[in-house]
Structure 1
Amino acid sequence: MDITALIEEIELIAGAGDAGDALDLVKRLLRTEQVEWAIEIRRSVRKGELDREKLIASGETLRQRAIQHREQARRDLMAATRALLRGGGDDVITRGALALAPFI
């Protein structure tokens, strides 16, 4: 499950769902080996009751982590592109990196 779909589902469950819906989401996440996300969601259910505020906070935490991950990936790509441009000769890969550089 991608992060956008997960956050949308969290918002739906927080708005109109119950503890069973949250636990079903946890099971689906575990089946796809997204354990960290499953743990975040599971923490919003206690003694069979859904803590909507905690679920929304979990969704926001996941959103922030995704933003951080995206930004780190962008920085890594920029660094790799710069290194390629500095050290690469005149070949198709270097020309491709040069064309890609303004968009990173």
Structure 2
Amino acid sequence: MRYCFALDLVDDPVLIAEYEKYHEKLRPEIEESIRTAGITEMEIYRIGNRLYMIMETDETFSFDKKAEMDAENPKVQEWENLMWTYQQALPMAKPGEKWLLMKNIFKL
């Protein structure tokens, strides 16, 4: 299954550069948590301060399972807290929401 998400970064060139640097070589424990959840591929694209993430999953993936795994993993929590210093919620996000799932409106 493919999922697409959007999120904004704080609109500061220095912070954006730092954020990108963190993603050049992902921490092994973060990559492991992603793969263990059933995520087979993940890409993040940026234009300006807006991010788009495309995530491919296998049949074992579920959002609830991923959220539970993340909540129980101190390394993931540390990573998420660090990334939140660079990220900002989209205007339509509810309190505490980060990456928002996008609706597919066209496929060729």
Q: Normalised by the shorter chain, which TM-score bucket?
A: under 0.3
* Structure (1 or 2) with the greater helix fraction: 1
The higher relative CO (CA closer than 8 Å, separation ≥ 6) is in 2
| Bigger radius of gyration among the two | 1
* Structure (1 or 2) with the greater strand fraction: 2
TM-score of the superposed pair, with normalisation by structure 2: 0.26
